[in-house]
Copies of this chain bind each other. A is one copy, B any other.
């Protein structure tokens, strides 16, 4: 363990510079969902390539039909496994911008609460801060030993927040190059600020946009009100119909493939001691809103959802306009679990919508992301090693948990490259990812770097 001590000390003494490098990356406005920011996405990719080449990786930008990939390789001992590290350099949009306390693209290190420093800015937690924990772990190890404990490949994506459209074709076209013994994905969270976690299940996602069209133009609600169809009424009825009074989704066959969580797993989750009240209090709520009769962890890890992520129609500016809109639209996503089929969900949803469109109106659909749910084996050897390494760094047993979000890459690694993924991350519940004032604790970043040093070392043994 002497080797480890030196590399860990190096991570400590590097911290200020490491943070400065993270700030540089956060300043790049790599919003993937909005085409206007495409040049910024490329800039972020190039910045990462430059940093990795500095560390002795052989790194390059790899063009796709969308935003580019970053691929890098570094040799390691024959005896150790070959790992592929994955992260994404793209970030979510920043609206509503008025709610940010500091510029989302001018990172600021300040106290998040007394005695607890964090770096604030879009992508600090999701996922630039997280991926930089691994890059800085490689740096500290390399600077200490002149080498890495394992053979390491890296894949950074730029479309994770916008459906990962290029990912599957890229993995297929570069399967030989990217296939490793194990993937390591850093896009998840700690159990709490003290307790490290490895996620073994992820919910899948089906995203769909619907636009209901009625009259051929906007109408005066005085002249036409009472006679002309209002697409907002049609849309709100459809969306309201999606759930019954018990919070269950009413779309046909929606629960096909959803398994009940085994009693022993539910008991372990209950032992983690997170109540709905605690979880919701932080966001100003108190009543779980989903399916009745389920625990909080079931609701967010093991049950599917139907969620309206955005809706718009008619006049939404200041003041009032007595108009009947020509169309109204909504963005809807489904979080999936077990063996739910994302494509079947999409087509059943479309059918559900079509059945509710009056004969003289119409609807159009736009497909967004699709990914199935993921479940990893509890006894995977790499999982066992990483669990112990994390416990050593954080001084507490590692929680083996589920995740409510989707990380489509994990399914793709499994399906296309036959690789299991180790999901280790250091984000915290209050990081405000996808929201104003996103942050990443300096402690998450610092101990995250140290954690990867320990995990790489453990995997090599």
| Known contacts A239-B236, A287-B358, A311-B236: A33-B318 contact under CB 8 Å | yes
Give the nearest-CB partner of A189 in chain B.
B223
Residues of A participating in the B interface, judged by any CB pair closer than 8 Å: 33-35, 92-93, 95-96, 99, 161-163, 203, 205, 207, 209, 214-230, 232-233, 235-237, 239-241, 243, 276, 279-280, 283-291, 296, 299-300, 303-305, 307-325, 328, 330-331, 333, 335, 358-361, 368-369, 403-406, 429, 432-437
Q: How far is the CA of A307 from the CA of B429 in the complex (A)?
A: 40
| Known contacts A239-B236, A313-B311, A314-B310: A323-B434 contact under CB 8 Å | yes
| Known contacts A300-B224, A303-B226, A311-B314: A163-B320 contact under CB 8 Å | yes
Contact, CB under 8 Å: A296 / B227: yes
Contact, CB under 8 Å: A228 / B285: yes
Give the nearest-CB partner of A434 in chain B.
B220
Q: How far is the CA of A369 from the CA of B96 in the complex (A)?
A: 29
Contact, CB under 8 Å: A226 / B360: no
Contact, CB under 8 Å: B360 / A285: yes
Q: How far is the CA of A347 from the CA of B227 in the complex (A)?
A: 25
Q: How far is the CB of A227 from chain B (nearest CB, A)?
A: 5
Contact, CB under 8 Å: A300 / B227: yes
Contact, CB under 8 Å: B368 / A320: yes
| Known contacts A34-B317, A434-B323: A405-B220 contact under CB 8 Å | yes
Q: How far is the CB of A410 from chain B (nearest CB, A)?
A: 13
Beyond A163-B320, A309-B322, 4 extra complex contacts between A and B, CB < 8 Å: A95-B317, A232-B308, A236-B311, A309-B321
Q: How far is the CA of A376 from the CA of B227 in the complex (A)?
A: 24
Q: How far is the CB of A260 from chain B (nearest CB, A)?
A: 15
| Known contacts A243-B233, A283-B215, A285-B360: A321-B92 contact under CB 8 Å | yes
What residues on B are CB-neighbors of A280 within 8 Å? 227-228, 360
Q: How far is the CA of A333 from the CA of B319 in the complex (A)?
A: 13
Query: Can you pick out 9 interface pairs between chain A and chain B where the beta carbons lie within 8 Å of each other?
Result: A220-B434, A226-B404, A229-B285, A236-B240, A284-B360, A285-B360, A308-B314, A311-B316, A321-B331
Q: How far is the CB of A206 from chain B (nearest CB, A)?
A: 11
Give the nearest-CB partner of A314 in chain B.
B310
| Known contacts A225-B307, A310-B323, A403-B222: A93-B317 contact under CB 8 Å | yes
Q: How far is the CA of A323 from the CA of B433 in the complex (A)?
A: 10
Q: How far is the CB of A104 from chain B (nearest CB, A)?
A: 13
Contact, CB under 8 Å: A309 / B324: yes
**Choice from B227, B236, B432 contacting A289 with Cβ under 8 Å:** B227
Q: How far is the CB of A314 from chain B (nearest CB, A)?
A: 4
What residues on B are CB-neighbors of A287 within 8 Å? 229, 358-360
Contact, CB under 8 Å: A33 / B311: no
| Known contacts A225-B404, A236-B236, A429-B223: A309-B285 contact under CB 8 Å | no
Give the nearest-CB partner of A437 in chain B.
B217
Contact, CB under 8 Å: A289 / B358: yes
Q: How far is the CB of A208 from chain B (nearest CB, A)?
A: 9
Give the nearest-CB partner of A231 in chain B.
B308
Contact, CB under 8 Å: A320 / B33: yes
Contact, CB under 8 Å: B207 / A322: yes
Q: How far is the CA of A276 from the CA of B360 in the complex (A)?
A: 13
What residues on B are CB-neighbors of A316 within 8 Å? 310-312, 331
Contact, CB under 8 Å: A219 / B435: yes
Give the nearest-CB partner of A324 in chain B.
B307
Q: How far is the CA of A93 from the CA of B320 in the complex (A)?
A: 10
What residues on B are CB-neighbors of A235 within 8 Å? 236
What residues on B are CB-neighbors of A312 within 8 Å? 311-313, 316
Q: How far is the CB of A105 from chain B (nearest CB, A)?
A: 17
Contact, CB under 8 Å: B93 / A315: yes
**Choice from B276, B313, B331 contacting A315 with Cβ under 8 Å:** B331
Contact, CB under 8 Å: A318 / B34: yes
Q: How far is the CA of A243 from the CA of B432 in the complex (A)?
A: 38
Q: Closest 7 CB pairs between A and B?
A: A222-B405, A33-B319, A216-B284, A310-B314, A240-B240, A226-B290, A226-B299
Contact, CB under 8 Å: B310 / A230: no
Contact, CB under 8 Å: A226 / B322: no
Q: How far is the CA of A324 from the CA of B335 in the complex (A)?
A: 13
What residues on B are CB-neighbors of A308 within 8 Å? 230, 232-233, 236, 313-314
What residues on B are CB-neighbors of A227 within 8 Å? 276, 279-280, 288-290, 296, 299-300
